[in-house]
Amino acid sequence: FQALRQISQRTISTASRRQLENKVPEHQKLFQEDNDLPVHLKGGVKDAVLYRTTMILTVCGTIYALYLLGVSSMPKKQQ
């Protein structure tokens, strides 16, 4: 039982060391570059798509809310 436990611990610990690489210095260089981009767009295409999607949903939601506010402020016509 003890031997099996040692083997499993060794396998797990060596496998995780190989898979995980410290990418923090790379990301620090990327985000500290002076390339006139705002920090929320420095991540690349994925960040740009996420930002534009958020802006589109925000603008559409605001327009829809204003439309509903306008409709609800009009009195209903009596028949």
Contact 47, 41 (CB under 8 A): yes
Q: What would the two tokens of residue 33 be? A: 């570059």
pLDDT interval class at 53 (50, 70, 90): very high
**Domain definitions of the chain by residue range:** 38-71
Whether pTM exceeds 0.75: no
Task: Tell the burial category of 51 from Cβ atoms under 10 Å away from its Cβ (0-12, 13-18, 19+).
Answer: middle
Other Cβ atoms within 10 Å of 37 Cβ, number? 13
Contact 42, 30 (CB under 8 A): yes
State the amino acid at position 64 in one-letter form. Answer: Y
Residue-wise pLDDT tens digits, 6-45: 766 665 555 555 678 889 998 899 889 888 888 888 888 9
